[in-house]
Each structure stands twice: as C-alpha cells, then as structure tokens.
Amino acid sequence: MTTPSSPTAPFDMTIRGGRISTDKETFYADIGINNGVIAAIAPDLPAGAVDIDATGRWVLPGGVDSHCHIEQLSGMGVMCADDFYSGTVSAAFGGTTTIMPFAAQHRGMKIPAVLADYSGRAATKAVIDYGFHLILTNPDEDTMKTDLPQAIRNGITSLKVFMTYNQLKLDDYQLLDVMTLADQEGALVMMHAENHDMIRWVADRMLALGHTAPKYHAVAHDKLSETEASYRAVALSRLIDVPVLIVHVSGAETVETIRQARTNGAFIHAESCPQYLFLTADDLDAEGMEGAKFCCSPPPRDVGSQEAIWRGLKDGTLALYSSDHAPFRFDVTGKLPHGDQTKFKEMANGVPGIELRMPLLFSEGVVKGRITINEFVALTATNHAHMYGMEHKKGNLAVGLDADIALWDPVLEVAVGTAMLHDNVGYTPYEGRTVTGWPTTVISRGRVVVDGGELHVERGTGEFIACKRPAPAAPDRSKSQPNVLAQLLRGQAARQPT
C-alpha cells in the first residue's frame, strides 16, 4: 500500500484513491502532505515521495481520545498498567493519533511539580501527539492564585474535578470557586458526577451484610447517584453561567437530565464511552472474581441505558465518545490487591479500551447504521479537538491541519482478543467480539505510525500540543432568563429592578 516515489515529487506524501470523510461531508479525492501538514486535497494529485494507494479504504481523520488515563497514579495509590509508550502504541493501532490523559494533582501536591513530572514521562515515551488535562484536588491559595492560571496559560485549558472519592472530591463551594476561575482564565471544567454520600451509604450497608462480590460495585454506584450529581452539576453551572462538561455518562435518566438542561439553555456538555454501549451490570456478576474486570465508575447499566446512550450520541446530547481507558491488571497490582478475598470497594476502578474505542463504534455504529460516518468522525475526533482547543491542529482533514490520518478497511473483520491488543493490561472486557472495520494504516503528522500490522516510529516522537481556549458551542439562550448573578460576578452592570 505504501510505496516510495520520486525524491523530487511535489509532496512528501500523497494518499490517493480513497473515500474521504470529515464531520460534514464525504467525497473522493487525494491528499498531499508536506512537512507533516496537509498541503492539498484535490482529485488526481501527483504522486508524492511516499505514495499511498488508498483504493478501497475510508480515509478519516486520526482519532482524538480526550479522556484516558496513562501512567497515572489513581486516588487509591495504584499506578496504571500503561505508560506513555504502551498507551500511545495501543491508541495508534486503534486509529487514534492524539490523546489527552490526566496530570493528576493529589492532595498536597503542587501543580508545577505535577506537570513537570508528567511532561517528562510523556516526552520520552509517546509515539503520537498528546495534550493534558489537569486533575485538581487541592484548590488552595497558591493553586488558585498562581499555579492553575499559569498552567492554563501554558496550554492546559481543561481540568477535571470530582464530586466523589474521599481522596479526590471537592465540595460544592470549592467547585464554584474552581468553575469561576476556569471561566475567567479560559478553561473548561470536566466533572465526574456521582453523589459521594449515596455511594458510601449503600456500600457500607452492602459490606455489613457480607455482600463483597464485584457485582455489588454496580449496586453501590446506583444510577440515581449519577443522576443527582449531574443535576447538581447543572445547577452549579446555571448559578454562575459557566460551562461544564460531564464525563462518562452511563445512565438513561442522566442522559435525559442533560438533554433537558441543554434544551432549557444550560451551558452543559457531556461524553460517554464504550463500556456504556457494549457492557451491562450483568457482566459484573461473572463467576468468581471475573466480574472485577468490568468494574468502573460509573458502572455499566442495562440495555435501556445503552439505547439512551446511542440516542444521546446521535442527537448531540453526548458530543464526545472517549475511551476512559483506565488500565489496571487483573492481579494484586491492580484489580485484586487482596487476591480472591478482594472486596468490591478495594478493586481498582476502570476498564481498558483505548485501542478498541473507534473500531467498536465503527462496527456497531457505522456498519449497523446507528450513526453516519460523518457523525462517527465528529464523535471520535472533530468534536474533541473543538471542545478542548485543538482544532487549529487536530480533529479533521483540511489544508493547514496536521496530517493525522487513518485509512480504514471498512469490511475487514477482526476477532477481538487480548493477544492482538497492544496495551499492558492483560485482558479486555470485549474478549470474543468480532468487529467489522479496522484502521490498517495510521499516520501522525505525516509519519506512518502503523502499517501492515507493524509499528514504524520510535518512542518519544510524539509531541505535546498546547491547547487554546476551548470553544464549545454556546447553548440556545432563548428559553432562559438573563443571569443577573453571573453579570455581577463578571463586573458587568446590572439594572436594579424598579
């Protein structure tokens, strides 16, 4: 498929004869690439120095996975199984060319030290490009006055906050402070929305009754805990008129809460993930400890919730489809710190999925007619770049953007199994599935990263992408009242009632 051509060719690389899809249109054309950037898109371009025949392939933007956990210490003190090398290699084999993992500030840590450490890890190992989010757990005076504003100005324009987990959660007062500062500095707040005390109360009672198996993780993380916290996130956002993004939405009622809030003019955005389309709570009830492989927060729900997630992706209620790749091995280093005696509250939370994120959606969404190819591109690439301030480089196929491109064989059938994946987890919750459609050639900044089932780049060749101010679309305000409090907080003149 990839052949050398003349060294005097007008392009460093051409991709010819493929069917191109962006988030808005589909057409046949060639792509010419120079210096890692798309230089031309037109029919019948001359051959490049490297000439790729894309006949029979679907030429799509490389994916942007804006929610994944790579080489990150969890709140429970467990290190992810994937470092920046294995994590980015796995992402690339699945058609993703940019990832956005989390630099995690734990209690007592200073943001500059966190970012210096995380940047160093990525720079020496990543094979594709990356940006960072910041997990914020310590909104003290230094953080809020100096460290967080500086991080935002240096290109980390999104931060994640938690409404649950003892080691991570912020109270509503702190959340409002963080949201206000983020709005002032031009950042977007991502919220893990689950009601901490509801989960804690149910979990304590399950354990007291001797219910320790993995399936009780789903019982403790009841869908109402997600719905209540999501509604509260909406209320906080509306109070001060600041946008937020609710991550990893799992339940039907939560989807409807977000849809209604957006209909009413709230500045709310949301994402979902493969586990909420392709797994259910019944998976946690597998024999023995096998159910631990499916434990994540929020947990998978039921078939009705799966259908609600599909509708949310289709109608724009859920604008992003991310992996939430949280790689923990199925042993004492991850999921089972106490072996077969591990209780559901002690299991590392999260499931792997960075390599299968796009193939699963292509197969079950595009091939089966649930979504269009253009919606697929938006959900896996374009919307992510736009939401997080990368649209000047990533997420689409257009002249002037980075040449991040994946060539998909739309009819190739792949049997999913642990042995064919490239992460360091040692299992996949999607074992035994067959997917139709797979990226066979993946290009990052004009470099062939994956082709013929082989990796073609070295570790440390990915680059950090400084994000600009995010540009999530504003909601329709026609049905909402002017927010006088928000105007006052922003120093805007507000007319007093007479």
pLDDT tens digit sequence for 253-264: 999 999 999 999
Alpha helices in 316-366 (DSSP H): 357-361
Residue 27's contacts (CB-CB under 8 Å, 6 or more residues apart) are 19, 20
Long-range contacts of 340-344 (CB under 8 A, 24+ apart): 340/288, 340/289, 342/289, 342/292, 343/207, 343/212, 344/203, 344/206, 344/212, 344/213, 344/214, 344/215, 344/216, 344/217, 344/220, 344/292, 344/295
pLDDT of residue 486: 75
CB of 299 closer than 8 Å to CB of 284: yes
Question: What is the sign, positive or negative, of the torsion defined by CA atoms of 426, 427, 433, 439?
Answer: negative
Closest CA to 72 of 58, 56, 87: 87
Render 385-401 in DSSP notation, one character per residue: HHHTT-TTTSSS--TTS
Q: Where are the domains of the chain?
A: 63-387
Low-confidence ranges of the chain (pLDDT < 50): 493-498
pLDDT of residue 150: 96
Render 275-302 in DSSP notation, one character per residue: HHHH--GGGGG-STTGGGGG--SSPP--
pLDDT of residue 244: 97
pLDDT of residue 482: 66
pLDDT of residue 497: 39
**Structure tokens given for 147:** 């460290």
CB of 132 closer than 8 Å to CB of 156: yes
Distance CA 412, CA 290 (A): 30
Strands 447-451 and 454-455: antiparallel
- Cα torsion at 247, 248, 251, 254 (round to 10°)? 10
Residue 467's contacts (CB-CB under 8 Å, 6 or more residues apart) are 131, 155, 156, 157, 158, 388, 389, 390
Q: How many CB atoms lie within 10 A of CB 304?
A: 12
Amino acid at 313: L
pLDDT of residue 494: 42
CB of 73 closer than 8 Å to CB of 137: no
Residue 151's contacts (CB-CB under 8 Å, 6 or more residues apart) are 111, 112, 115, 134
Q: How many CB atoms lie within 10 A of CB 105?
A: 24
Closest CA to 322 of 262, 251, 245, 393: 245
- Give the 3-state secondary structure of residue 362: helix
What class does CATH assign to 63-387? Answer: alpha beta
pLDDT tens digit sequence for 415-452: 999 999 999 999 999 999 999 999 999 999 999 999 99
CB of 309 closer than 8 Å to CB of 317: no
Rg (CA), the chain: 22
Q: How many CB atoms lie within 10 A of CB 484?
A: 14
**Structure tokens given for 388:** 């997080």
Distance CA 273, CA 262 (A): 20
271-290: b or e for each residue (b if 16 or more CB lie within 10 Å)?
A: bbbbbbbbbbbebbeeeebe
Distance CA 190, CA 187 (A): 10
pTM of the model: 0.94
Strands 188-192 and 158-162: parallel
Strands 244-246 and 188-192: parallel
